[in-house]
Amino acid sequence: MSEHHDRFPNEAGTFFIDGPAGRIEVAVDLPEPECALDVVAIICHPLPVEGGTMHNKVVTITERALRELGAKTVRFNFRGVGESEGEFDEGRGETLDLLAVAEWVQKVLPNHALWLAGFSFGAYISLLGARHLPVRQMISIAPPAGRWDFSAVLVPECPWLVIQGEDDDIVDPNEVYRWIDDLAEKPQLVKMPETGHFFHRRLMDLRGAIKNGVRKNLPAPSDAD
């Protein structure tokens, strides 16, 4: 566990940054140099009080999909999870945690496009945080409409991909579809049949859905090294 406060790491690893409730545990992964783009994706994990961490399989397959497209990726543990300090705060503090991570990312990679992704509770937090950030691509996996108060969620002003399992046993798919139907600006919605909340046996399909859904919004490769 190393300290990287003033620069983005040049190798994959886990370290701490300062957050509003103490230190935040952050994990960075890097794309292969030949496909690296000026994109950094922050990925938010599911509900802490139900065992959600940045090592969740949906979070890590999302990370892998985006890294394979050329993005640098940043995962982090919300307050009170893993080595992150603090305690669960019903979404308010977790949004501040995300904003602290995003502030650090923007400081160390000011010329990169910021992408934001989240799974379940993490999708809710990333949507709350997006209204304060210059997000260029939004990815919401099983956003928990009907379980959390989505009245404060604003439609992101960027391309937005929503992926929902049709057999989700935790987030009611019909609540998600109803929420999207009521939005003035609708996201690109991918419905995955015979798929539960945690995408068991469907993680490779999820990886493909993410890559297919966002590939067209990747920036062109830069000529600079």
pLDDT of residue 222: 72
Q: What is the DSSP string of 66-91?
A: HHHTT-EEEEEPPTTSTT--S---TT
pLDDT of residue 5: 72
pLDDT in tens, 12-54: 999 999 999 999 999 999 999 999 999 999 999 999 999 999 9
Has residue 4 got a pLDDT over 80?
Answer: no
Has residue 3 got a pLDDT over 70?
Answer: no
Query: How far is Cα 97 from Cα 112, in angstroms, rounded to an integer?
Result: 20
The partner residues of 26 in beta bridges, in order of sequence, read: 15, 76
Fold of 2-216: Rossmann fold (3.40.50)
The amino acid at 174? N
Query: Residue 166 is encoded by which pair of tokens?
Result: 């049709």
Has residue 225 got a pLDDT over 60?
Answer: no
Percent of the chain clearing pLDDT 70 (strictly above) = 97
Percent of the chain clearing pLDDT 90 (strictly above) = 94
Query: How far is Cα 209 from Cα 41, in angstroms, rounded to an integer?
Result: 16
Query: How far is Cα 26 from Cα 100, in angstroms, rounded to an integer?
Result: 11
Tell me what the mean pLDDT of segment 138-167 comes to. Answer: 96
Q: Tell which residue, 106, 109, 127, has the closest CA to residue 117.
A: 127
Confidence bin at 6 (pLDDT 50/70/90): confident
